[in-house]
Amino acid sequence: MNQHADQALVLVEENAPTTRCRILETAERFFREIGYQKTTVADIAKTLRMSPANVYRFFESKKAINEAVVERVTRDIEALIASIAARTGMTASARLAEIVRALHHDCLERCQDNPRIHEMVEAAMTESWNVCRHHVERISDVLVRVVTEGARTGEFVVEDPDMAAQCVHVAIVRYCHPVLVSQYPNAPAPPLETMIAFLQRALGARDPGRAGTP
Amino acid sequence: MNQHADQALVLVEENAPTTRCRILETAERFFREIGYQKTTVADIAKTLRMSPANVYRFFESKKAINEAVVERVTRDIEALIASIAARTGMTASARLAEIVRALHHDCLERCQDNPRIHEMVEAAMTESWNVCRHHVERISDVLVRVVTEGARTGEFVVEDPDMAAQCVHVAIVRYCHPVLVSQYPNAPAPPLETMIAFLQRALGARDPGRAGTP
Protein backbone atom coordinates (compact mmCIF):
# COMPACT_ATOMS: atom_id res chain seq x y z
CA MET A 1 0.00 0.00 0.00
CA ASN A 2 2.79 2.32 0.98
CA GLN A 3 4.51 1.57 -2.24
CA HIS A 4 1.32 2.35 -4.20
CA ALA A 5 0.89 5.62 -2.36
CA ASP A 6 4.50 6.50 -3.14
CA GLN A 7 4.01 5.66 -6.79
CA ALA A 8 0.84 7.81 -6.89
CA LEU A 9 2.76 10.69 -5.34
CA VAL A 10 5.53 10.29 -7.89
CA LEU A 11 2.92 10.38 -10.65
CA VAL A 12 1.32 13.56 -9.25
CA GLU A 13 4.70 15.22 -8.89
CA GLU A 14 5.75 14.17 -12.38
CA ASN A 15 2.49 15.49 -13.80
CA ALA A 16 2.72 18.78 -11.91
CA PRO A 17 4.44 20.70 -14.72
CA THR A 18 1.95 19.29 -17.22
CA THR A 19 -1.01 20.24 -15.05
CA ARG A 20 0.45 23.71 -14.57
CA CYS A 21 0.85 24.06 -18.32
CA ARG A 22 -2.65 22.79 -19.00
CA ILE A 23 -4.10 25.31 -16.54
CA LEU A 24 -2.18 28.12 -18.24
CA GLU A 25 -3.17 27.04 -21.74
CA THR A 26 -6.82 26.80 -20.75
CA ALA A 27 -6.69 30.12 -18.92
CA GLU A 28 -5.09 31.84 -21.89
CA ARG A 29 -7.78 30.46 -24.19
CA PHE A 30 -10.51 31.74 -21.86
CA PHE A 31 -8.85 35.15 -21.55
CA ARG A 32 -8.69 35.39 -25.34
CA GLU A 33 -12.19 34.16 -25.97
CA ILE A 34 -14.36 35.65 -23.25
CA GLY A 35 -11.89 38.07 -21.69
CA TYR A 36 -9.95 38.27 -18.45
CA GLN A 37 -12.72 39.85 -16.38
CA LYS A 38 -15.39 37.29 -17.24
CA THR A 39 -13.17 34.23 -16.79
CA THR A 40 -13.44 32.46 -13.43
CA VAL A 41 -11.17 29.87 -11.85
CA ALA A 42 -14.25 27.61 -11.78
CA ASP A 43 -14.50 27.87 -15.61
CA ILE A 44 -10.88 26.85 -15.99
CA ALA A 45 -11.25 23.97 -13.51
CA LYS A 46 -14.43 22.70 -15.16
CA THR A 47 -12.84 22.60 -18.60
CA LEU A 48 -9.92 20.62 -17.19
CA ARG A 49 -12.30 18.32 -15.27
CA MET A 50 -10.68 19.15 -11.98
CA SER A 51 -11.84 20.90 -8.84
CA PRO A 52 -11.20 24.64 -8.35
CA ALA A 53 -9.29 23.60 -5.20
CA ASN A 54 -6.88 21.68 -7.41
CA VAL A 55 -6.30 24.76 -9.60
CA TYR A 56 -5.61 26.75 -6.43
CA ARG A 57 -2.93 24.18 -5.51
CA PHE A 58 -0.98 25.50 -8.50
CA PHE A 59 -2.02 29.16 -8.54
CA GLU A 60 -3.28 31.03 -5.53
CA SER A 61 -5.52 33.39 -7.54
CA LYS A 62 -6.73 34.37 -11.00
CA LYS A 63 -4.24 37.21 -10.80
CA ALA A 64 -1.43 34.66 -10.31
CA ILE A 65 -2.67 32.72 -13.36
CA ASN A 66 -2.67 35.89 -15.46
CA GLU A 67 0.84 36.71 -14.27
CA ALA A 68 2.03 33.28 -15.36
CA VAL A 69 0.27 33.63 -18.73
CA VAL A 70 1.84 37.05 -19.31
CA GLU A 71 5.23 35.74 -18.23
CA ARG A 72 5.00 32.78 -20.61
CA VAL A 73 4.01 35.03 -23.51
CA THR A 74 6.71 37.61 -22.78
CA ARG A 75 9.45 35.01 -22.29
CA ASP A 76 9.10 33.92 -25.93
CA ILE A 77 9.74 37.37 -27.37
CA GLU A 78 12.47 38.02 -24.80
CA ALA A 79 14.26 34.84 -25.89
CA LEU A 80 13.91 35.83 -29.54
CA ILE A 81 15.42 39.31 -29.11
CA ALA A 82 18.18 37.96 -26.89
CA SER A 83 19.12 35.52 -29.66
CA ILE A 84 19.15 38.35 -32.22
CA ALA A 85 21.39 40.40 -29.91
CA ALA A 86 23.83 37.49 -29.74
CA ARG A 87 24.02 36.91 -33.51
CA THR A 88 27.47 37.09 -35.00
CA GLY A 89 28.29 38.46 -38.44
CA MET A 90 25.81 41.33 -38.11
CA THR A 91 26.49 44.94 -37.17
CA ALA A 92 25.03 46.29 -33.94
CA SER A 93 22.92 48.60 -36.08
CA ALA A 94 21.41 45.71 -38.03
CA ARG A 95 20.81 43.71 -34.87
CA LEU A 96 19.11 46.69 -33.25
CA ALA A 97 16.87 47.07 -36.30
CA GLU A 98 16.03 43.38 -36.21
CA ILE A 99 15.15 43.54 -32.50
CA VAL A 100 12.83 46.50 -33.03
CA ARG A 101 11.15 44.67 -35.93
CA ALA A 102 10.73 41.55 -33.78
CA LEU A 103 9.18 43.54 -30.92
CA HIS A 104 6.81 45.30 -33.30
CA HIS A 105 5.72 42.19 -35.16
CA ASP A 106 5.22 40.24 -31.95
CA CYS A 107 3.00 42.98 -30.56
CA LEU A 108 1.09 43.41 -33.82
CA GLU A 109 0.47 39.70 -34.23
CA ARG A 110 -0.63 39.24 -30.67
CA CYS A 111 -3.00 42.22 -30.83
CA GLN A 112 -4.52 41.32 -34.19
CA ASP A 113 -5.12 37.72 -33.21
CA ASN A 114 -6.53 38.66 -29.90
CA PRO A 115 -8.96 41.54 -29.54
CA ARG A 116 -9.21 40.95 -25.80
CA ILE A 117 -5.48 41.21 -25.15
CA HIS A 118 -5.96 44.77 -23.98
CA GLU A 119 -8.00 43.47 -21.05
CA MET A 120 -5.27 40.97 -20.05
CA VAL A 121 -2.53 43.55 -20.39
CA GLU A 122 -4.58 46.13 -18.52
CA ALA A 123 -5.18 43.61 -15.72
CA ALA A 124 -1.48 42.77 -15.62
CA MET A 125 -0.47 46.43 -15.62
CA THR A 126 -2.94 47.30 -12.89
CA GLU A 127 -2.71 44.23 -10.66
CA SER A 128 0.76 42.93 -11.44
CA TRP A 129 2.87 45.90 -12.36
CA ASN A 130 6.08 44.10 -11.37
CA VAL A 131 5.58 41.40 -14.01
CA CYS A 132 5.26 44.10 -16.68
CA ARG A 133 8.13 46.14 -15.28
CA HIS A 134 10.45 43.13 -15.33
CA HIS A 135 9.50 42.38 -18.93
CA VAL A 136 10.24 45.99 -19.90
CA GLU A 137 13.54 45.80 -18.03
CA ARG A 138 14.57 42.61 -19.79
CA ILE A 139 13.91 44.25 -23.18
CA SER A 140 15.94 47.25 -22.05
CA ASP A 141 18.79 44.96 -21.00
CA VAL A 142 18.95 43.49 -24.51
CA LEU A 143 18.93 46.95 -26.11
CA VAL A 144 21.64 48.15 -23.71
CA ARG A 145 23.77 45.13 -24.62
CA VAL A 146 23.60 45.88 -28.36
CA VAL A 147 24.10 49.65 -28.03
CA THR A 148 27.03 49.15 -25.64
CA GLU A 149 28.66 46.73 -28.04
CA GLY A 150 28.11 49.11 -30.95
CA ALA A 151 29.65 51.94 -28.92
CA ARG A 152 32.63 49.76 -27.98
CA THR A 153 33.41 48.90 -31.60
CA GLY A 154 32.95 52.53 -32.65
CA GLU A 155 29.93 51.74 -34.76
CA PHE A 156 27.75 53.97 -32.57
CA VAL A 157 28.93 57.29 -31.22
CA VAL A 158 27.12 57.82 -27.94
CA GLU A 159 28.26 59.28 -24.63
CA ASP A 160 26.11 57.05 -22.44
CA PRO A 161 25.17 53.75 -24.15
CA ASP A 162 22.84 52.80 -21.32
CA MET A 163 20.85 56.00 -21.59
CA ALA A 164 20.90 55.91 -25.40
CA ALA A 165 19.38 52.43 -25.30
CA GLN A 166 16.65 53.64 -22.95
CA CYS A 167 15.91 56.44 -25.42
CA VAL A 168 15.57 53.92 -28.26
CA HIS A 169 13.28 51.82 -26.09
CA VAL A 170 11.01 54.75 -25.22
CA ALA A 171 11.00 56.00 -28.82
CA ILE A 172 9.50 52.75 -30.13
CA VAL A 173 6.64 52.60 -27.65
CA ARG A 174 4.13 53.52 -30.40
CA TYR A 175 5.15 50.36 -32.28
CA CYS A 176 5.52 47.94 -29.37
CA HIS A 177 3.16 48.90 -26.55
CA PRO A 178 0.09 46.62 -26.55
CA VAL A 179 -2.20 49.43 -25.42
CA LEU A 180 -1.18 51.77 -28.24
CA VAL A 181 -1.00 49.05 -30.88
CA SER A 182 -4.30 47.40 -29.93
CA GLN A 183 -6.39 50.42 -28.94
CA TYR A 184 -5.28 53.09 -31.36
CA PRO A 185 -4.15 51.18 -34.46
CA ASN A 186 -5.14 54.10 -36.68
CA ALA A 187 -3.02 56.71 -34.93
CA PRO A 188 -0.59 58.12 -37.47
CA ALA A 189 3.02 56.93 -37.34
CA PRO A 190 5.93 56.84 -39.80
CA PRO A 191 6.71 53.44 -41.33
CA LEU A 192 8.73 51.33 -38.91
CA GLU A 193 11.79 51.28 -41.21
CA THR A 194 11.84 55.10 -41.32
CA MET A 195 11.72 55.18 -37.54
CA ILE A 196 14.51 52.60 -37.25
CA ALA A 197 16.77 54.64 -39.56
CA PHE A 198 15.98 57.77 -37.51
CA LEU A 199 17.01 56.00 -34.29
CA GLN A 200 20.17 54.56 -35.83
CA ARG A 201 21.07 58.10 -36.78
CA ALA A 202 20.50 59.30 -33.21
CA LEU A 203 23.01 56.64 -32.15
CA GLY A 204 25.54 58.14 -34.52
CA ALA A 205 25.52 55.08 -36.80
CA ARG A 206 27.23 55.85 -40.07
CA ASP A 207 25.24 55.06 -43.17
CA PRO A 208 22.64 53.11 -41.21
CA GLY A 209 20.64 52.48 -44.38
CA ARG A 210 23.35 50.17 -45.63
CA ALA A 211 24.20 48.58 -42.30
CA GLY A 212 23.84 44.85 -42.37
CA THR A 213 27.26 43.39 -42.51
CA PRO A 214 30.04 44.24 -40.08
CA MET B 1 -44.22 93.58 -29.10
CA ASN B 2 -42.33 92.95 -32.25
CA GLN B 3 -39.59 95.25 -31.09
CA HIS B 4 -39.46 93.48 -27.70
CA ALA B 5 -39.32 90.10 -29.35
CA ASP B 6 -36.47 91.33 -31.53
CA GLN B 7 -34.62 92.65 -28.52
CA ALA B 8 -35.10 89.34 -26.71
CA LEU B 9 -33.77 87.48 -29.73
CA VAL B 10 -30.76 89.80 -29.86
CA LEU B 11 -30.13 89.09 -26.17
CA VAL B 12 -30.36 85.33 -26.70
CA GLU B 13 -28.03 85.53 -29.68
CA GLU B 14 -25.58 87.75 -27.80
CA ASN B 15 -25.62 85.38 -24.86
CA ALA B 16 -25.20 82.31 -27.01
CA PRO B 17 -21.40 82.23 -26.81
CA THR B 18 -21.62 82.74 -23.03
CA THR B 19 -24.19 79.97 -22.64
CA ARG B 20 -22.09 77.70 -24.82
CA CYS B 21 -19.05 78.45 -22.66
CA ARG B 22 -21.00 77.92 -19.44
CA ILE B 23 -22.21 74.53 -20.68
CA LEU B 24 -18.64 73.53 -21.56
CA GLU B 25 -17.22 74.76 -18.24
CA THR B 26 -19.88 72.89 -16.28
CA ALA B 27 -19.47 69.76 -18.38
CA GLU B 28 -15.71 69.82 -17.94
CA ARG B 29 -16.12 70.16 -14.16
CA PHE B 30 -18.52 67.19 -14.10
CA PHE B 31 -16.20 65.12 -16.29
CA ARG B 32 -13.32 65.86 -13.92
CA GLU B 33 -15.27 65.28 -10.73
CA ILE B 34 -17.56 62.34 -11.39
CA GLY B 35 -16.19 61.16 -14.74
CA TYR B 36 -17.41 61.24 -18.32
CA GLN B 37 -19.48 58.06 -18.13
CA LYS B 38 -21.49 59.05 -15.07
CA THR B 39 -22.21 62.61 -16.22
CA THR B 40 -25.59 63.17 -17.87
CA VAL B 41 -26.84 66.09 -19.93
CA ALA B 42 -29.58 66.43 -17.28
CA ASP B 43 -26.88 66.99 -14.58
CA ILE B 44 -25.29 69.72 -16.64
CA ALA B 45 -28.65 71.38 -17.37
CA LYS B 46 -29.74 71.25 -13.72
CA THR B 47 -26.54 72.90 -12.51
CA LEU B 48 -27.03 75.69 -15.05
CA ARG B 49 -30.73 75.98 -14.13
CA MET B 50 -31.80 75.33 -17.68
CA SER B 51 -33.74 72.56 -19.38
CA PRO B 52 -31.91 69.65 -21.04
CA ALA B 53 -33.68 70.76 -24.24
CA ASN B 54 -31.85 74.08 -23.99
CA VAL B 55 -28.49 72.30 -23.65
CA TYR B 56 -29.41 70.25 -26.74
CA ARG B 57 -29.96 73.53 -28.64
CA PHE B 58 -26.21 74.08 -28.30
CA PHE B 59 -24.88 70.52 -28.41
CA GLU B 60 -26.72 67.64 -29.98
CA SER B 61 -25.27 65.01 -27.60
CA LYS B 62 -22.96 64.39 -24.67
CA LYS B 63 -20.45 63.21 -27.22
CA ALA B 64 -20.63 66.63 -28.94
CA ILE B 65 -20.06 68.33 -25.56
CA ASN B 66 -17.00 66.17 -24.90
CA GLU B 67 -15.66 66.96 -28.36
CA ALA B 68 -16.00 70.68 -27.68
CA VAL B 69 -14.33 70.28 -24.26
CA VAL B 70 -11.43 68.36 -25.79
CA GLU B 71 -11.14 70.89 -28.61
CA ARG B 72 -11.02 73.80 -26.14
CA VAL B 73 -8.36 72.11 -24.04
CA THR B 74 -6.25 71.14 -27.05
CA ARG B 75 -6.51 74.57 -28.71
CA ASP B 76 -4.64 76.14 -25.76
CA ILE B 77 -1.60 73.90 -26.06
CA GLU B 78 -1.70 74.10 -29.86
CA ALA B 79 -1.60 77.91 -29.66
CA LEU B 80 1.29 77.74 -27.20
CA ILE B 81 3.49 75.49 -29.35
CA ALA B 82 2.65 77.47 -32.49
CA SER B 83 3.87 80.61 -30.72
CA ILE B 84 7.10 78.85 -29.68
CA ALA B 85 7.62 77.71 -33.29
CA ALA B 86 7.30 81.33 -34.46
CA ARG B 87 9.76 82.76 -31.94
CA THR B 88 12.69 84.67 -33.41
CA GLY B 89 16.20 84.71 -31.98
CA MET B 90 16.10 81.00 -31.12
CA THR B 91 17.57 78.09 -33.05
CA ALA B 92 15.22 75.51 -34.51
CA SER B 93 16.81 73.02 -32.12
CA ALA B 94 15.98 75.14 -29.08
CA ARG B 95 12.45 75.78 -30.32
CA LEU B 96 11.93 72.07 -30.90
CA ALA B 97 13.12 71.35 -27.36
CA GLU B 98 10.80 74.01 -25.96
CA ILE B 99 7.83 72.58 -27.88
CA VAL B 100 8.48 69.07 -26.56
CA ARG B 101 8.76 70.47 -23.01
CA ALA B 102 5.49 72.37 -23.44
CA LEU B 103 3.68 69.25 -24.73
CA HIS B 104 5.01 67.16 -21.86
CA HIS B 105 4.24 69.67 -19.13
CA ASP B 106 0.77 70.30 -20.46
CA CYS B 107 0.02 66.58 -20.48
CA LEU B 108 1.54 66.04 -17.04
CA GLU B 109 -0.31 68.94 -15.46
CA ARG B 110 -3.61 67.95 -16.96
CA CYS B 111 -3.21 64.32 -15.89
CA GLN B 112 -2.03 65.09 -12.36
CA ASP B 113 -4.83 67.57 -11.73
CA ASN B 114 -7.40 65.31 -13.18
CA PRO B 115 -7.42 61.60 -12.37
CA ARG B 116 -10.51 61.12 -14.57
CA ILE B 117 -8.98 62.59 -17.68
CA HIS B 118 -8.29 59.10 -18.96
CA GLU B 119 -12.03 58.50 -19.18
CA MET B 120 -12.59 61.70 -21.18
CA VAL B 121 -9.69 60.98 -23.50
CA GLU B 122 -10.76 57.37 -23.91
CA ALA B 123 -14.29 58.53 -24.78
CA ALA B 124 -12.90 61.07 -27.24
CA MET B 125 -10.58 58.48 -28.80
CA THR B 126 -13.32 55.90 -29.11
CA GLU B 127 -16.29 58.08 -30.04
CA SER B 128 -14.64 61.06 -31.67
CA TRP B 129 -11.46 59.83 -33.23
CA ASN B 130 -11.42 62.71 -35.74
CA VAL B 131 -11.14 65.34 -32.99
CA CYS B 132 -8.08 63.53 -31.62
CA ARG B 133 -6.61 62.94 -35.04
CA HIS B 134 -6.90 66.63 -35.95
CA HIS B 135 -5.20 67.60 -32.71
CA VAL B 136 -2.36 65.19 -33.41
CA GLU B 137 -2.10 66.54 -36.96
CA ARG B 138 -1.91 70.14 -35.76
CA ILE B 139 0.96 69.23 -33.43
CA SER B 140 2.69 67.45 -36.31
CA ASP B 141 2.25 70.54 -38.49
CA VAL B 142 4.08 72.66 -35.91
CA LEU B 143 6.91 70.12 -35.62
CA VAL B 144 7.19 69.88 -39.41
CA ARG B 145 7.43 73.69 -39.60
CA VAL B 146 10.35 73.84 -37.14
CA VAL B 147 12.22 70.85 -38.59
CA THR B 148 11.79 72.16 -42.15
CA GLU B 149 13.11 75.56 -41.13
CA GLY B 150 16.07 73.96 -39.33
CA ALA B 151 16.80 71.89 -42.45
CA ARG B 152 16.59 74.98 -44.67
CA THR B 153 19.11 76.92 -42.58
CA GLY B 154 21.41 73.88 -42.40
CA GLU B 155 20.96 73.54 -38.67
CA PHE B 156 19.42 70.10 -39.13
CA VAL B 157 20.70 67.58 -41.63
CA VAL B 158 17.73 65.48 -42.69
CA GLU B 159 16.69 64.04 -46.02
CA ASP B 160 12.96 64.36 -45.48
CA PRO B 161 12.06 67.04 -42.89
CA ASP B 162 8.41 66.04 -42.93
CA MET B 163 9.16 62.42 -42.09
CA ALA B 164 11.84 63.40 -39.55
CA ALA B 165 9.28 65.57 -37.74
CA GLN B 166 6.84 62.64 -37.66
CA CYS B 167 9.58 60.50 -36.14
CA VAL B 168 10.16 63.10 -33.42
CA HIS B 169 6.44 63.21 -32.76
CA VAL B 170 6.10 59.46 -32.43
CA ALA B 171 9.26 59.22 -30.30
CA ILE B 172 7.82 61.51 -27.61
CA VAL B 173 4.55 59.63 -27.22
CA ARG B 174 5.64 58.29 -23.81
CA TYR B 175 5.93 61.86 -22.55
CA CYS B 176 2.89 63.41 -24.20
CA HIS B 177 0.17 60.79 -24.63
CA PRO B 178 -2.51 61.18 -21.95
CA VAL B 179 -3.08 57.42 -21.74
CA LEU B 180 0.59 56.62 -21.11
CA VAL B 181 1.19 59.60 -18.84
CA SER B 182 -1.95 59.13 -16.76
CA GLN B 183 -2.20 55.34 -16.64
CA TYR B 184 1.38 54.22 -16.42
CA PRO B 185 3.19 57.08 -14.68
CA ASN B 186 5.68 54.64 -13.18
CA ALA B 187 6.81 53.10 -16.45
CA PRO B 188 10.53 53.71 -16.80
CA ALA B 189 11.68 56.46 -19.15
CA PRO B 190 14.84 58.55 -19.54
CA PRO B 191 14.65 62.14 -18.29
CA LEU B 192 12.92 64.36 -20.85
CA GLU B 193 16.06 66.44 -21.45
CA THR B 194 18.05 63.29 -22.31
CA MET B 195 15.37 62.29 -24.77
CA ILE B 196 15.31 65.77 -26.34
CA ALA B 197 19.09 65.69 -26.85
CA PHE B 198 18.79 62.22 -28.39
CA LEU B 199 16.17 63.47 -30.86
CA GLN B 200 18.15 66.60 -31.74
CA ARG B 201 21.01 64.30 -32.54
CA ALA B 202 18.80 62.18 -34.81
CA LEU B 203 18.02 65.41 -36.69
CA GLY B 204 21.73 65.94 -37.23
CA ALA B 205 21.83 69.01 -34.98
CA ARG B 206 25.41 69.94 -34.19
CA ASP B 207 26.20 70.33 -30.52
CA PRO B 208 22.53 70.23 -29.51
CA GLY B 209 23.45 70.50 -25.84
CA ARG B 210 24.58 74.08 -26.36
CA ALA B 211 21.89 75.05 -28.85
CA GLY B 212 19.90 78.03 -27.68
CA THR B 213 21.01 81.02 -29.68
CA PRO B 214 21.16 81.07 -33.47
Assign domain A1-60 to its CATH superfamily: Homeodomain-like (1.10.10.60)
The rounded distance, in Å, linking the Cα atoms of A167 and B198 is 7
Assign domain B62-210 to its CATH superfamily: Tetracycline Repressor, domain 2 (1.10.357.10)
Segment A79-83 mean pLDDT: 97
Mutate to test the interface with A, among B141, B172, B201, B206 (most CBs of A within 10 A): B201
The rounded distance, in Å, linking the Cα atoms of A154 and A147 is 10
Does the beta carbon of B125 lie under 8 angstroms from any beta carbon of chain A? yes
Least Cα distance to A165 among A206, A203, A132 occurs for A203
Mutate to test the interface with B, among A201, A206, A207 (most CBs of B within 10 A): A201
Burial of B12 (0-12, 13-18, 19+ CB in 10 A): exposed
Other C-beta atoms lying within 10 Å of the C-beta of residue A151: 21
Determine the residue of chain B that is closest to A184 in CA distance: B125
Inspect the interface and report whether the beta carbons of B180 and A179 lie closer than 8 Å: yes
- The end-to-end CA distance of chain B, in Å, is 67
> Rounded to the nearest 10 degrees, what angle do helices A117-127 and A92-113 cross at?
110
Q: How confident is the model at residue A15 (pLDDT cuts 50, 70, 90)?
A: low
Does the beta carbon of B128 lie under 8 angstroms from any beta carbon of chain A? no
Quote the pLDDT of residue A2. Answer: 54
| 3-class secondary structure per residue, B154-203 | CCCCCCCHHHHHHHHHHHCHHHHCHHHHHHCCCCCCCCHHHHHHHHHHHC
Burial of A34 (0-12, 13-18, 19+ CB in 10 A): middle
Whole-number CA gyration radius for chain A: 21
Q: Is the pLDDT of residue A118 over 80?
A: no
pLDDT in tens, A180-196: 887 777 778 999 999 99
Quote the pLDDT of residue B111. Answer: 79
The rounded distance, in Å, linking the Cα atoms of A105 and A88 is 22
Inspect the interface and report whether the beta carbons of B189 and A177 lie closer than 8 Å: no
In residues, how long is chain A?
214
Domain ranges of chain B: 1-60, 62-210
Q: Is the model more confident about B61 or about A2?
A: B61
Residue type at A83 in one-letter notation: S
Q: Is the pLDDT of residue A166 over 70?
A: yes
B135 Cβ neighbours under 8 A, 6+ residues apart? B70, B71, B74, B78
Inspect the interface and report whether the beta carbons of A179 and B174 lie closer than 8 Å: no
Q: Is the pLDDT of residue A24 over 90?
A: yes
- One pLDDT digit (tens) per residue for chain B, 214 residues: 455 655 555 555 556 778 999 999 999 999 888 888 899 999 999 999 999 999 999 999 999 999 998 888 889 999 999 999 999 999 999 999 999 999 999 988 887 767 677 778 778 877 888 888 899 999 999 999 999 999 999 999 999 999 999 999 999 999 998 878 877 777 789 999 999 999 999 999 975 544 444 4
Inspect the interface and report whether the beta carbons of A180 and B183 lie closer than 8 Å: no
Inspect the interface and report whether the beta carbons of A179 and B177 lie closer than 8 Å: no
Q: Is the pLDDT of residue A201 over 80?
A: yes
Q: How wide is the angle at C-alpha A120 spanned by C-alphas A29 and A99, nearest 5°?
A: 95
Distance from CA of B20 to the nearest CA of A (A): 30
Chain centroid, CA B121 distance in Å: 11
Distance from CA of B59 to the nearest CA of A (A): 26
Does the beta carbon of A179 lie under 8 angstroms from any beta carbon of chain B? yes
Quote the pLDDT of residue B11. Answer: 54
| Contact status, residue A51 vs residue A45, Cβ threshold 8 Å | yes
Does the beta carbon of B138 lie under 8 angstroms from any beta carbon of chain A? no
Inspect the interface and report whether the beta carbons of A184 and B125 lie closer than 8 Å: yes
Other C-beta atoms lying within 10 Å of the C-beta of residue A89: 8
A121 Cβ neighbours under 8 A, 6+ residues apart? A70, A132, A178, A179, A182
Q: Enumerate long-range contacts of B123-131, CB under 8 Å, 24 or more apart.
A: B123/B36, B123/B37, B123/B63, B123/B66, B124/B66, B124/B67, B124/B70, B125/A183, B125/A184, B127/B63, B127/B66, B128/B63, B128/B66, B128/B67, B128/B70, B129/A186, B131/B67, B131/B70, B131/B71
Quote the pLDDT of residue B3. Answer: 58
Sign (positive or negative) of CA dihedral B60, B65, B71, B76? positive
CB pairs under 8 A between A and B: 82
Quote the pLDDT of residue A3. Answer: 57
Q: Which of A140, A170, A186 lies closest to B129 in CB terms? A: A186
| Contact status, residue A175 vs residue A193, Cβ threshold 8 Å | no
H or E element at residue B15: helix B2-33
Classify domain A62-207 at the CATH topology level.
Tetracycline Repressor; domain 2 (1.10.357)
Q: How confident is the model at residue A206 (pLDDT cuts 50, 70, 90)?
A: confident
**Per-chain mean pLDDT for chain A:** 87
